[in-house]
Amino acid sequence: MVKRTMKKITKQDLANLVAEKVKISKRQAQDAVNAMIDGIASALEKKDTAVVLTGFGTFETREQGPRERLAFGKRVIKTPAKRVPKFKAGKTLKDRVERSK
């Protein structure tokens, strides 16, 4: 398996891209990006709520059942059930990524 290194774009980098695209100050873009992330997180804190960004994807939570796994190949560790965030990419995003090969 070939290990590849990915370029990482930080929240600050994303805010800079937004500022450039929309022609607003970097501070305003930073506030907008933070507000969007906070809005998505706040919505996901509520049960049975999904955030649908048409063309991009859907953020939602799912119940993950209790699990058992081996620690260091010796003893079993039990993990309790919990809610976890999930993201499902939308068709437009999938198509765009596919075309960018």
The verdict on 100 and 58 lying in the same domain is yes
pLDDT tens per residue, range 44-95: 999 889 999 999 999 999 999 998 888 877 788 888 999 999 999 999 999 9
Q: What is the pTM of this model?
A: 0.80
Burial of 15 (0-12, 13-18, 19+ CB in 10 A): buried
Q: Are strands 57-64 and 82-89 parallel, antiparallel or unpaired?
A: antiparallel
Domain count, the chain: 2
Question: 40: which residues sit within 8 A by CB, 6+ positions away?
Answer: 51, 59
pLDDT tens per residue, range 18-53: 999 999 999 999 999 999 999 999 999 998 899 999
Strand order in the sheet with 82-89: 51-53, 57-64, 82-89
The verdict on 97 and 54 lying in the same domain is yes
The verdict on 66 and 87 lying in the same domain is yes
Residue 30 to residue 15: CA distance in whole angstroms: 5
Q: Domain of residue 77: give its range.
A: 50-101
